[in-house]
Structure formats: C-alpha cells, structure tokens
Amino acid sequence: MAKVWLVTGASRGLGREIARAALNAGETVVATARSVEEVRNGLGAEHGLHALALDITDAKAANLVATETVERFGAIDVLVNNAGYAELGFFETFTDAEVRRQFEVNLFGTMNVARAVVPHMRARRSGLIVTISSVSGLVSNGGGSVYSASKFAIEGWMEGFAQELAPLGVRSLLVEPGMLRTDFMDRKSASFGSIDIPDYAEAIAQYRAFVDEANGNQPNDPSLLAARIVARASQDGLSSRLIFGDDALAWAGAKVDQLRQEIARSADRD
C-alpha cells in the first residue's frame, strides 16, 4: 500500500530528489516549499504529487498543511523535515539577527513542522520522521560555526525526541550527509556574514574561494541519498542515523576518535 509523504523544502536540492524518489516508488507525495510554482517546475506533473505552499517558520501554516494532508489522504506516513539554509562565514561577521534567523529556520521551523505532524502519527501509533541534518551537525569547522550550531541543536533535539516517540510507534531517522552536489552552497541557499572584520579578511577570502569552487562540484550524488532514504522508510529495524558520503564518514569517524582520546585524557587523574 502506498505511503503518504510530506516533504519540506521540495522545490530543489535534496528535498526535490527525495520527493522524486518517493514518487518513483509509487508513493503519494505532498511536496512543500514557499513557492508552489517552484515545486511544480522542479517536479513536473507527476502522478501522486500534490504541491502546497509552506514557510516552515509559520507555525499556523504548518498546522494547516498537516491538517489538509490528513483530511485529504487519511494519514501522514513519512515526514521529511528537509527545509533549511546555511549561514556560512566566521561567527563575528554575523549580526544577532542573522544568527537568530539561522535558528528560526533550521531549528524552530523544523520543530514547527514536527509539532504539526506528530499528533497525527501518535494517534495512529505509526509513522516515520526523517530529519535532514548534516555531518556539520556532528563536526564543526571554521566558517561553519553558525550553521553547525543550528544542526547540532537539531541533533540534540531529535536524539531525545526520538526516544520519547519510540514507545508510541513513531520512528525517527537522522540523516547526516556530507557535501551533496546540489545548489545548497549558492546564494539562494547560503548566506555570508555582513560585518567586515579586517582580522578575518584573509581567512574569509580563502573560505569563500573554497565555497565557490566546491559549489556544483561536491562529491556526493543527492539522488543516491534520496533513493536510500526511500528504501530505508520501508525497512524494519531502522537505524536511528544515516551518515552518507565518504567525506561524512571520514569526518564523523575522526570526530569519534578525537572524542575517545579526549575522554581517555579526561579520565586520566594523574
């Protein structure tokens, strides 16, 4: 029996690929983004596709989308909380408003959608929440501190929330990709700090050059990740995390090794 998917940020990038993979698997997909037209332009007139407008920072709109989806299709089997963007740059170059906007979208917007959908899943004692995080939710580097902070917050929230939901039949999957070959690093999705600080000028110039060079040349194929997510959604014994890409696996492994070393040093009382 076909499942009903609700996908946020589905007009482009990984969200669009997940929506397309689910449609190709014969699922019903409610694909959302701020612009319905962009969703339809990106996915076409696919059978099973229903496009709705949603700004995830609007809690009322999230509730309306969840209610409309359940009323029309009877359930939401899979929620893909994907919508987000990146503030890329050095922390001191961001205003307070810019930092808060990063959290408003990536964390609080994602929470809005989960808060709207989860009651329907709890009522059925069934459902899967797929949360698109990032390896940057496990590892932070210079130039990514603000973005990583929002993703670290996502990780902490969902790690605990998943344990609260598991006894009620609702499953969770945290997805932590490496660098995906999407437009995530262009100026539609990424933003840079607006404060000029000469002490950081050289390092920021190098970082922006890295971002510009990497954009469009990332090593990982988003369509492969999308297919894996759709396949996992039908599997029993679902693991709680999916780390995707050789780069992400290497960075996550190095972080684990570093933590083990620091734990061992902390335990050494001599």
The tally of domains found in the chain comes to 1
pLDDT tens string 168-193: 999 999 999 988 767 665 655 567 78
pLDDT tens string 94-113: 999 999 999 999 999 999 99
Average pLDDT of the chain to the nearest whole number: 93
Q: Are strands 86-87 and 28-33 parallel, antiparallel or unpaired?
A: unpaired
Judge residue 90's burial from the number of C-beta atoms within 10 Å of its C-beta, 0-12 exposed, 13-18 middle, 19 or more buried: buried
- Note down the domain range covering 96: 4-267
CATH code at position 66: 3.40.50.720
Residue 151 annotated to the active site:
yes
For 194, phi then psi, to 5°, come to: -105, 0
Q: Which of 151, 172, 191, 207 is catalytic?
A: 151
- Residue 76's pLDDT is 98
DSSP string, 101-113: HHHIIIIIIHHHH
Query: With contact defined as beta carbons under 8 Å apart, do 243 and 179 qualify?
Result: no
Residue 133 annotated to the active site:
yes
- Residue 190's pLDDT is 66
Residue 207 annotated to the active site:
no
Q: Which of 147, 150, 172, 191 is catalytic?
A: 147
Give the global pTM: 0.93
Supply angle C-alpha 83, 104, 114, rounded to 5: 55
- Residue 187's pLDDT is 59
Mean pLDDT lowest among 57-61, 156-160, 231-235: 231-235
Partners of 86 in beta bridges: 190
Q: Which of 3, 11, 133, 136 is catalytic?
A: 133
> Which of 83, 57, 87, 81 has its CA nearest to residue 149?
87
For 149, phi then psi, to 5°, come to: -60, -40
